[in-house]
Structure 1
Amino acid sequence: MDRSAYASMSAQEEGHWWFVARRAILDSLIARRIAPRPGARILEAGCGTGGNLAMLAAYGSVDALEYDDGARRLATARGIARIEPGMLPGRIGFGEARYDLIALLDVLEHVDADRDALDALRARLAPGGRILLTVPAAPWLWSDHDVLHHHKRRYTLGSLTGVAQAAGLKIEAAGYFNSLLFPLAVAARMAHRLFGRKGGSDAQPSRPINGWLRRIFATERHLLGRVRFPAGLSLYAILSA
């Protein structure tokens, strides 16, 4: 990811509608669908600047790996987790530690060898452990945003579950999210293509719009796993060995 993208992420993770609402959705998924044991051992693979660490730490002790030096320094400064240099699939670190929960949150799309990455993480699951995975969806929505963030691909539900199964993982749950805003996002991206404009900025919108978008997106925390959305900007999966 570009250094400017990391700087923007760090500045916005506490307030931008997308980060705040996504954390609420992931928190709900962990509590309802995974329910880690008390004091669970947790790994975040590719923690970026650390915006998810506090949420994960509510469920146990957290280790994290991050390839980028600048992002890792920002994450370490939060004082929440033990963070080491690493990358997928070959440098997970932390000895031979096994984990009750591994979070891979909008990371797999950055990895060339996605099957190998999932296979390596499968080997680090404790008995009964789970992987919580999110990725961007809909390859036909590829845009300048994907280029800026150094994505290798966007996924379909079939391609995501296929690569997980090829890595020897079982699909406990999978589906689309960021679906309520999907029609608005598609309309915006089609307009950008039609008029030859660059993709939208990652900048936080005005306070009223930011709050409106956050409330709509966060509403999905009550629906995910109960309602099967037919499409969305993102995909999630809960995987086991």
Structure 2
Amino acid sequence: MDLKETDILGEKIGEHWYYQSKAKAVKNLLSNINTSTILDVGAGSGFFSKHLLAHSAAKEAWCVDISYAHDSDSSEAGKPVHFRRSIDSSNADLVLLMDVLEHVDDDVGLLTDYVSKVAKGTYFLISVPAFKFLWSEHDVFLEHKRRYRLSQIENVAQSSGLTVKHGAYYFGAVFPIAATVRLVGNLFHKESTQPRSQLKMHQPMVNATLAALSNAELPLMKKNRLAGLTAFCLAVS
């Protein structure tokens, strides 16, 4: 997760429809997996691992991000959270890479490196922004290198030594709205030396409506290989 977005939303990040719904999607995808220790790679604020600590039986989280000024320790729901700039190995049974791989030049290389740091049988949950045609100023602001089709992120996982268990798109219900906004915006967009984020806190009614649309698709999301704003890949080492 990107610290730039954390800076924009601040303490209200958990109220934003996108992060609120995405956290529920993560819990949905992991519903049949017993997790004790989480390794959250490119964790930023650790929003998703903290959510799992608060709403599941997970007992501990290690958040790794090169952007941290120094190593530190905290807690969530009475459970330890360790923030580290790097790690050499991990006993985690779940590795999260939430919107991380699109930031690096060598996505297979980064993922392979973390596969080598954990034991065989460790689950990996990966999310990436979907569809190249949705590229916008928002991607430039977040310093993305690419967006993915579902088959592409599954291929990255396989090339890194993982066995793909499941892949799905999410935010399909809001996909037509977002795609229209992005495409129209790109049509009239002028190059800027200071790209801006499209992320913002919406009016309560808009926020609630977008959250409701996203939550409504949760029961069917595991079957969605057609379209969405995010591509999820669940794999095992």
Asked if these proteins are the same fold (TM beyond 0.5), I'd say: yes
In 1, Cα distance between equivalents of 2:211 and 2:219 = 14
In 2, Cα distance between equivalents of 1:104 and 1:4 = 16
- Counterpart of 2:159 (choices 159, 166, 174) is 166
Which letter maps to 2:64? L
Matched positions, count: 227
Indicate the residue corresponding to 2:59 in structure 1.
60
**Bigger mean CA deviation after superposition, 178-187 or 161-170:** 161-170
Which letter maps to 1:20? Q
SS of the aligned residue for 2:63 comes to strand
Indicate the residue corresponding to 1:209 in structure 2.
206
Which letter maps to 1:240? V
SS of the aligned residue for 2:172 comes to coil
Residue-by-residue CA offset, 1:32-54 (whole Å, 9 max, x unaligned): 3xx125xx221000111221132
Residue-by-residue CA offset, 1:1-30 (whole Å, 9 max, x unaligned): 997544114343121110101001111111
> Contact conserved, 1:192 with 1:199, CA < 8 A, in 2?
no
Indicate the residue corresponding to 2:40 in structure 1.
44
CA distance change for structure 1 residues 63 and 141 in 2, over 3 Å: closer, same or farther? Answer: same
Indicate the residue corresponding to 1:17 in structure 2.
17
CA distance change for structure 1 residues 199 and 192 in 2, over 3 Å: closer, same or farther? Answer: farther
Residue-by-residue CA offset, 1:63-91 (whole Å, 9 max, x unaligned): 11012136x78x966655111113xxxxx
- TM-score, normalising length: structure 2: 0.86
Tell me, which stretches of 5 or more residues in structure 1 are unaligned? 87-92
In 1, Cα distance between equivalents of 2:110 and 2:98 = 13
CA distance change for structure 1 residues 112 and 76 in 2, over 3 Å: closer, same or farther? Answer: farther
SS of the aligned residue for 1:47 comes to coil
> Contact conserved, 1:44 with 1:62, CA < 8 A, in 2?
yes
Which letter maps to 1:159? Q
Indicate the residue corresponding to 1:224 in structure 2.
221
In 1, Cα distance between equivalents of 2:51 and 2:2 = 25
**Bigger mean CA deviation after superposition, 213-222 or 17-26:** 213-222
- Counterpart of 2:116 (choices 117, 123, 131) is 123
In 1, Cα distance between equivalents of 2:37 and 2:130 = 29
In 2, Cα distance between equivalents of 1:103 and 1:3 = 16
CA distance change for structure 1 residues 96 and 180 in 2, over 3 Å: closer, same or farther? Answer: same
Does residue 109 in structure 1 map to residue 102 in structure 2?
yes
> Contact conserved, 1:10 with 1:51, CA < 8 A, in 2?
no
Indicate the residue corresponding to 1:89 in structure 2.
none
SS of the aligned residue for 2:7 comes to helix
Indicate the residue corresponding to 2:168 in structure 1.
175
Indicate the residue corresponding to 1:235 in structure 2.
231
What is the Cα-based RMSD across aligned positions, in Å? 2.4
Identity of aligned residues (%): 26
In 2, Cα distance between equivalents of 1:41 and 1:4 = 26
> Contact conserved, 1:56 with 1:62, CA < 8 A, in 2?
no
CA distance change for structure 1 residues 203 and 136 in 2, over 3 Å: closer, same or farther? Answer: same
In 2, Cα distance between equivalents of 1:7 and 1:130 = 29
CA distance change for structure 1 residues 3 and 45 in 2, over 3 Å: closer, same or farther? Answer: closer
Which letter maps to 2:119? A
Tell me, which stretches of 5 or more residues in structure 2 are unaligned? none
